[in-house]
Amino acid sequence: MPNSFGKLFQISTWGESHGPSVGVVIDGCPPRLPLAESDIQADLDRRRPGQSDITTPRQEADRVEVLSGIFEGCTTGQPLALLVRNADARPEAYAEMKENYRPSHADFTYQAKYGVRDHRGGGRSSARETIGRVAAGAVARKILSLAGGVEIRAYVTHVHRVAAPSLDHFPTLAEVEATAVRCPHLPTAEKMIATIKEARAAGDSVGGVIECRVRGVPAGLGEPVFDRLEADLAKAMLSLPATKGFEIGSGFTGTLLKGSQHNDAFVQKEGGVGTATNKSGGVQGGISNGEELVFRIAFKPTATILQKQQTVNVHGEASELQARGRHDPCVVPRAVVIVEAMTALVLVDHWMRHAAQNHTFKF
């Protein structure tokens, strides 16, 4: 269960960075969904390394293989097992990790927890674990798209100190994908790219912020107490490597407003009730209200840097670490599709939970 996510649309990921493969099992997928490998591959291609000169040079085709659950072009309601082979694994490049705990990585905590760890490339704490999430997220997105016209769009708003102006519209996928940094505001995108290249040149790294918007979510998704929609989104996002914060709607800035400024007045809208503003970010009392979901996630600068660092080795002795090899100076652009995937997984799961309680029986 520690490697599973979701209650009704449940995914279980497995696999290490430098093992033979990584993958995911999706359990509870609705039957009769038209689905092809290409639906999944499209999202994997957005996630994979080596897409541009601002990411890690690790070369991986990340070609997905569907091992079960599809028959004659449709899902059958049975588990979907999805597999991606690791091609460019170089376990020998990580010998130094065996001896030294890399600062702000999970080497030490895994060792403390399990008394053993697969040190090759971070093992399971590697970002390669997110391949399974993205593959499953692609299935969830297809469900949302076909069944409800739901659109999920994430994009980069901050890289280090470079901040994009707020968007006045729901951006198209093309706008987001226009640059390698996935910020739909082009002048800002250029500055972000320059910042990342500068960090890379210095053997350093930078972080940033992703914003995610979702439109087409019906009112009623989310549970009222613990499994609030924003709570499950927060969990989903904080479960991603390198994340340090989550906020929805007005977020931390909303604490600077008074109630009279912050409340979203209800107004009549076509199709029913809506709100005049959206400080709530699309959820009230843990339940979607039919407005756009809007939330943001903070990503710390990548822990792997190519500079000498003070550390402690596995024997508890003071040591120094000089990382070599491949290095991703900023994970934020590639995380955009991962954020979208997690969002889709949360929404499909809550949609099914909502329907189960409220639409199974008619009274």
Residues numbered 280 to 339 that lie near its own copies (CB under 8 A) are 280-281, 283-290, 298-305, 307, 309-312, 316-318
Query: Looking at beta carbons only, is 88 or 317 nearer to its own copies?
Result: 317
Position among 237, 338, 339, 347 found at the interface with its own copies (CB under 8 A): 237
Q: Give the number of C-alpha atoms closer than 13 A to the C-alpha of residue 343, restricted to the C-beta side.
A: 29
The smaller minimum CB distance to its own copies, of residues 113 and 324, is found at: 113
User: Binding to its own copies by residue 169, rule CB under 8 A?
Assistant: no
Residue 216 is a binding residue for its own copies (CB under 8 A): no
* Total residues in contact with its own copies, by rule CB under 8 A: 163
The sign of the dihedral angle between the CA atoms of 231, 152, 333, 44 is positive
CB 232 within 8 A of CB 226: no
Q: Which of 42, 52, 77, 324 binds its own copies (CB under 8 A)?
A: 77
Minimum Å gap between C-beta 331 and its own copies is 11
CB of 70 to its own copies, least distance (A): 9
Cβ atoms 15, 22 nearer than 8 A = yes
Interface with its own copies, residue 278, by CB under 8 A: no
Please, what is the minimum distance in Å from the beta carbon of residue 170 to its own copies? 21
| Those residues with Cβ within 8 angstroms of residue 177's Cβ, 6 or more apart along the chain or in another chain | 46
Looking at beta carbons only, is 42 or 356 nearer to its own copies? 356
Residues 83-142 that bind its own copies (CB under 8 A): 83, 101, 103-106, 108-110, 112-118, 123-125, 129
Task: Please tell me the distance from the alpha carbon of residue 271 to that of residue 253, in angstroms, as a whole number.
Answer: 31
Cα(64)–Cα(66) distance, rounded to whole angstroms? 7
Q: Which is nearer to its own copies, 172 or 273 (CB)?
A: 273
Nearer to its own copies, 68 or 172 (CB): 68
- Using DSSP bridges, classify how beta strands 151-159 and 80-85 pair: parallel, antiparallel or unpaired: unpaired
Q: CA-to-CA distance for 33 and 40, rounded, in angstroms? A: 13
- Cα 334 to Cα 47: distance, rounded to the nearest angstrom: 5
Tell me how far, at minimum, the Cβ of 74 lies from its own copies, in Å.
6
Q: How far is CA 233 from CA 14, 148, 157, 344, in A?
A: 22, 19, 19, 10
Cβ at position 174, least distance to its own copies in Å: 26
- Told to check if 236 binds its own copies by CB under 8 A, we report yes
Q: Which of 55, 56, 205, 343 is the binder for its own copies (CB under 8 A)?
A: 205
Contacting residue, 87, 146, 173, 186, with its own copies by CB under 8 A: 146
Residue 91 sits at φ, ψ, to 5 deg, of: -55, -30
- For residue 200, the surrounding DSSP H or E stretch is helix 186-201
CA distance 156 to 338: 12
Backbone angles phi, psi at 167, to 5 degrees: -80, 140
Helix (H, G, I), strand (E, B) or coil at 138: helix
Q: Which stretch binds its own copies (CB under 8 A): 38-46, 180-188, 266-274, 333-341?
A: 266-274
- Per CB under 8 A, contacts with its own copies among 23-42 are 23, 25, 27-34
Angle at 11 between CA 8 and CA 13, to 5 degrees: 165
Nearer to its own copies, 50 or 254 (CB): 254
Q: From residue 55 to residue 74, what is the string marking binding to its own copies with x (rule CB under 8 A)? A: ------------xxx-x--x
**Is there binding between residue 164 and its own copies (CB under 8 A)?**
no
